[in-house]
Amino acid sequence: MKIIAHRGYSAKYPENTLAAFRAAAKLPIYGVEFDVHLTKDRELVVIHDEKIDRTSNGSGFVKDMTLEQLRQFDYGIWFGEEFAGEKIPTLSEVLEVFAITNLHINIEIKSDIFIYEGIEELVLQEVTSRKLEDRVILSSFDHEAVQKVAELAPNIENAPLFANPVLNLRDYLMQVPAKALHVSLPSALRYPVRQAIKAGEIVRVYTVNEIEHAERLLPLGVDSIFTDEVELMLEFMNRE
């Protein structure tokens, strides 16, 4: 079971910041995952929520602010004084951190609540300009975005995200078409996903932070887990 650092090394560093990504980049793991949104001036930024309130000292929606406005706030201090000064990273800055590694890079397109028109093309431009096609996985809860990625870049791995998967997953994946399936931890244990794994689909599971949960997933044949607790899961997998 491969390990993917969820939002960077987010148990020990403020999520989706360059500090969290630089820490993840040093670890012997399969990959890293992070979330992208579009600013008012159409810059791609890496942050989880639609609003900056939870992970910064600012307030408001990403879509309503320019990159310059978003950069005025601090995205590290909420996590610890020692992280004061972290800025919201652009997709380009994050890709630069991983360009010099061999980690796989899962970019989650957060076109969930607000539809960011054209975000797929902008993300693909960044990926292709850095020649990262072989190491990137593009995922989203917005399956139209996943479909668009499949049309625009069939050579790049794509994956629909599911909190509660549909019953006939294999047909669904063929229909999108998608190369892998990203599912929540509880749904990974249920029949539709177990069947998909048995049938040979690549399944990655979020978010696995407890050893007991990893122990449940291992015998099922799950391909990878997204975790905040990267070193804990590395220790677990090295024991197995």
Which residues are catalytically annotated? 6, 48
Shortest distance, position 185 Cβ to ligand G3P, whole Å = 10
CA distance 104 to 12: 21
Segment near Ca ion (CB under 5 A), from 87-95, 106-114, 145-153, 184-192? Answer: 106-114
Interface pick for ligand G3P out of 11, 21, 33, 222 (rule CB under 6 A): 33
Which of 86, 108, 142, 201 touches ligand G3P (CB under 6 A)?
108
Q: Which residues within the stretch 140-169 sit at the binding site for ligand G3P (CB under 6 A)?
A: 161
Distance CA 205, CA 224 (A): 6
Q: How far is CA 67 from CA 38, 45, 132, 225, 238, in A?
A: 9, 8, 24, 32, 41
Cα–Cα distance between 209 and 230 in angstroms, integer?
A: 8
Q: Which does 161 bind (CB under 5 to 8 A by kind): Ca ion, ligand G3P, none?
A: ligand G3P
Provide the H-helix boundaries in the chain: 18-25, 67-70, 91-99, 119-129, 143-152, 169-175, 185-188, 191-198, 211-217, 230-239
229 in contact with ligand G3P (CB under 6 A): no
Residue 15 contacts Ca ion per CB under 5 A: no
The partner in contact with residue 159, picked from ligand G3P, Ca ion, none with C-beta cut-offs of 5 to 8 angstroms by kind, is none
In whole angstroms, the minimum distance from the beta carbon of 112 to ligand G3P comes to 9
Q: 84 vs 144, which CB is nearer to Ca ion? A: 144
Residues that bind ligand G3P (CB under 6 A): 6, 33, 35, 48, 108, 139, 161, 182, 206-207, 226
